[in-house]
Amino acid sequence: MKQKVFVGLSGGVDSSVTAALLKEQGYDVTGVYMKNWSKDIPGFECPWLEDYQDAKRVAAILDIPFKMYDFEKEYKHLVVDYMLDGYKNGITPNPDIMCNQEIKFKLFFEAAMKDGADLIATGHYAKVLDGKLLNALDTNKDQTYFLYRASKDSLKKTLMPIGDYHKKDVRELAKKFNLPTATKKDSQGICFVGKVGIKEFLSFELGKQKPGNILDEEGNIIGTHEGAIYYTIGQRHGLNVGGGLPYYVIGKDMKKNEVYVTTDISSKELWKNEFTLDKMYFLENIKKEDLNKLKVRTRYRAELVECRVILGEDTKASVELKESIKALTPGQSAVFYLDNQCIGGGIVI
């Protein structure tokens, strides 16, 4: 009897090809569109309906059953509110990681299993082998950074077939399968809102922010900002500070509504060779000796850096780096790798 796979069909090319490949491999495939967000923002129309219709068209061409799971209420609470709270507290959270943790590899997984699925599948650029999360063949597109908080139970029952392909080959496969998403552009902007930028989204959800002062390392006021909430460590653009050398954000005080900057690219505030993590999460039972053999990625597509991890109390850990890294940002994730396997990570504090 064929294994039943529920594929998360987002309306994009990657998940479309995922469904096509699995059908070709002999699985009993059902396409599922997850409705996570449908709210328009002034000047930006939420693309959910177009994505839903594209997903439906893909299912029709592949001749597979299609359904929609509505997670909008849970998504608002678990992902959007989490993100907004983070920005209000002066950190830079990652909604994509939270979406994978709470929605795709929890709610979707649980609903699919309840609906009779044996497995789930997603269009992520990553590989899963015996529950282990491995790097994708296309290192430029590898998405394991966003997947490190997926539940171990779900990964044991997850397929990610496009992890074995380069992006250009996925596009070619979409043409071969005659899929309507073959030439559809990859989504930009916030994961759930489409083309809208983070500044517009925060302004819409949290209202107009109070302007405040931008100060240099000596404490001199050198300009004003439109709200400290919009700025993140290492940011260079959008500071509206006069000519000369470029300024970089090195800190901010949410209570005083101040943003601190420097022109010194080698400032110790901009480069770190050690940092602390909270909410540590491991996909594997890691051996103590392996804690000295890890590499860490502190942003999506950032270079891997050799490091040493010292586990602390509760879910905390400290990380010592072999070389300094720039613009380490509180709220973002640091994700660890042992060879080509993603083994977990934590959130920078």
- The residues assigned a catalytic role are 99, 191
CA distance 216 to 239: 12
Of 124, 197, 130, give the one whose Cα is nearest residue 165: 124
Strands annotated E in 18-173: 28-35, 66-70, 119-121, 127-129, 132-134, 158-159
**C-alpha angle 200/147/171, rounded to 5°?**
80
Q: Give the 3-state secondary structure of residue 250.
A: strand
Give CA torsion, residues 76, 77, 82, 85, to 10 deg: 90
d(CA 16, CA 289): 41
The closest alpha carbon to 72, from 15, 33, 113, 30, belongs to: 33
Residue 229 — left, alpha, or beta (φ > 0 → left; ψ -120 to 50 → alpha)? alpha
Q: List the Cα angle 326/294/336 in 5-degree steps.
A: 65
Q: How far apart are CA 331 and CA 98, in angstroms?
A: 12
Q: Half-sphere exposure (CA, 13 Å, Cβ side) for 292?
A: 2
